[in-house]
Structure 1
Amino acid sequence: MASLSLRIDLDPEGRIGPGKIELLEKIASLGSISAAGRAMGMSYRRAWDLVEETNQIFGQPVASPQVGGKNGGGAMLTPLGLALVARFRAIERAVSDAARDHIAALQREVAVDQGRDAPLPRQPKVKAKA
């Protein structure tokens, strides 16, 4: 089934897409950058680099580390991080809603094209008697 993936290119060089947004959502739900990274199959270093890249894009933190506690520190999203996730998901829903009919039409065309590209079944040869 066809799907739509959204990436927003921000000036001058920033990009926000489903990967960074999923990472922020996992940080919010798991309370840890390292746990969020593990849940997505990436190293703590990669997860931290993506958070730092997002911080740089917006000029302020989207996640903040939490210190101490019995089980060590953790992280939580800042108000900006929460707003970023909410806005991205709202844009994603709006784009998906607007494109739904066109995407379905494209998917139908793929199904039709696949049928055309398949080799035609061989017809049995019939020998006529003379």
Structure 2
Amino acid sequence: MKTITEWIKKTLNKLNPLCGYFVIWRELSSLAVGLILWIHSAVFLRWIDPTAGMYDAGVFQVYLFAIIGIFILHGIVRILMKLIWPTSEQYLDQYFREDFKTITPWQKLKLSTSIFFAFLFAVAFLARTL
């Protein structure tokens, strides 16, 4: 039990210099926590089960390719929107920001949450199909 406490203290000491940076870029904290947990998972899993096997760094290639796929598909969709329905492209580029400022807070929350989970689902779906 003492080794886990020491491990947690070491991990927190490593994160202290980065706390100010993560206050500004909160979304990077989830990446840092995930990477730190992955790096230290070998020690934790071996503590639980000495015969446990580990994943190598290649597991991150799946997510990297999923993110690349999202960017490529985003570009393709924007090109198709411009070719097939140019008025929607003009609306998104010119008027969407002003319209977003005028909607009610619950509509902003609903729209923002829907977009976030759509991107999350798309990356998870692409990561599992690659």
TM over 0.5: no
Structure whose residues are more often helix by fraction: 2
Kindly indicate which of the two structures has a greater share of residues assigned to strand. Answer: 1
TM-score by length of 1: 0.28
CA radius of gyration, larger in: 1
